[in-house]
Amino acid sequence: MHRPTRLAALGLAAAAGLALTACSEGGGTGADQVEGLADVSGELQGEGATSQQRAMDQFASLFEVAAPGSTLSYNATGSGSGQSRFIDGQVAFAGSDSPLKDEQVAAAKERCGGNDALHLPMVIGPVAVAYNLEGVDLTLTPSLIARIFDGKITSWDDPAIAEVNEGVALPAEGIKVVYRSEESGTSDNFMKFLSAAAPEDWRLEHSKSFPSATGSGASGSAGVADEVSQVPGAITYVESGFAKDKGLGIAAIDFGAGPVELTPETVNTALSNLEYSGEGANMVVDAEKLFAMTESGAYPLVLTTYEIVCSAGYDEQTRDLLKNFLHVVLETGQDEELAELGYIPVEGEFKDKLAAAVDSIN
């Protein structure tokens, strides 16, 4: 289990009942300051997706500077655990790679005092199909990816792979699939992608639990990347920052209009065409339309990962801490440092829609 992100301000005694500290006095200067933050201090608790862990580490540091006396504790245990802890009222928000299921919505509304839960896609993480093949620049199609992860293609020199990698020296080596062993929103979204982009080749139902018939499991995003880095011929699905850290190959994917590299530009091409299945401030992305996208130059294999929050129903201190944190994330956290961690900074109309949704929490 990952340790919580917990960046404590110097001299902060434990927690909730401390006297309020004015966020506009002391602390950071210039770009670190965020106007309009509530006058509150304390610890904000969240839990969930490991895909958000690096972003949350960065956001926690920014929160401490922009809102002196406030800290974030984020426990990266996986989306399923985060959703459960949020619904149980143990944390203020859940980080999640997938929205609440229909059967969870009512329980979340009860947790929120009869108010709806909101899904805010604050952390955008492209998913890499990452592999360990020395000196091989690989191109895959959704069909090939589906057949590899379903155990129907088992060798790297399979004719179907060779056909889309003309001139590439593919090794006569077995493919070793590595998947997330725990419940994971990344697994859920990866399977949704396979269902939408390769429906003839992937007929398994999507789930937070990846089917274990093919390959072996490892825990967390860091765990699967580490496992692949140690096993020649291995392949996995993982957020791009973890793949880059381990020096793994990242496949170009031909979604239907030619091979597309995973870059900020190709991801933003996909994000510019997002549609939503939620209404108003509940920004649930229509994942089926996103994952089936075939637009030229777009890389739609993207986790639009959520902070799941209550639209209302918090005590005043928790509400203000949460809104302060989310505004700090939007105002100071969308920069090159976030991009270097493997995420895509939000901008433009999409960012404005998020800010309005945060403002609506009451």
What's the CA gap between 339 and 343, in Å, rounded? Answer: 5
* Average pLDDT rounded to a whole number, residues 289-314: 95
Q: Which has the minimum average pLDDT: 173-177, 195-199, 205-209?
A: 205-209
Q: Average pLDDT of 28-57?
A: 84
% of the chain exceeding 90 in pLDDT: 74
pLDDT band at 32 (very low <50, low <70, confident <90, very high): low
Contacts by residues 337-340 (CB-CB < 8 Å, ≥ 24 positions apart) = 337/58, 338/55, 338/58, 339/264
pLDDT at 15: 32
Whether 19 contacts 64, CB under 8 Å: no
Distances from the Cα of 248 to the Cα of 50, 133, 190, 226, 230, angstroms: 19, 8, 18, 10, 10
Outline where 121-239 has alpha helix (H): 142-149, 159-163, 185-197, 220-230
Amino acid 36 reads G
Rounded Cα distance between 286 and 299, Å, is 16
Q: Considering the chain, what is the average pLDDT of its residues?
A: 89
For residue 70, name the pLDDT band (cuts at 50, 70, 90).
very high
The CATH code of domain 127-269 reads 3.40.190.10
CB atoms within 10 A of CB 214: 16
- Kindly report the CATH number that applies to the domain delimited by 5-9+28-125+276-284+304-359: 3.40.190.10
Strands 5-6 and 70-76, bridge-based pairing = antiparallel
Q: Please tell me which residue, 97 or 128, carries the higher pLDDT value.
A: 128
pLDDT of residue 4: 47
- Of 27-31, 227-231, 302-306, 341-345, the least confident: 27-31
Please count the other Cβ atoms lying within 10 Å of the Cβ belonging to residue 219. 18
Give per-residue pLDDT as tens, 21-30: 333 333 333 3
pLDDT at 147: 98
What is the model's pLDDT at position 25?
Answer: 36
Side chain identity, residue 139 = T
* Least confident stretch, 62-66, 121-125, 158-162, 170-174: 121-125
Query: E strand or H helix at 251, and its extent?
Result: none
Q: Taking the complete model, does pTM exceed 0.75, yes or no?
A: no
Work out whether strand 70-76 and strand 42-48 pair parallel, antiparallel, or are unpaired.
parallel
Query: Residue written as tokens 């062993």?
Result: 181
| Radius of gyration in angstroms for the set of CA atoms belonging to the chain, rounded to a whole number | 21
Q: Where are the domains of the chain?
A: 5-9+28-125+276-284+304-359, 127-269
What pLDDT was estimated at residue 3? 40
pLDDT at 8: 34
The mean-pLDDT minimum among 7-11, 107-111, 315-319 falls in 7-11
CATH topology agreement for domains 5-9+28-125+276-284+304-359 and 127-269: yes
The residue whose two tokens read 């805010």 is 120
The whole-number average pLDDT for the span 307-330 is 98
Q: Specify the DSSP element, H or E, that contains 243.
A: helix 240-245
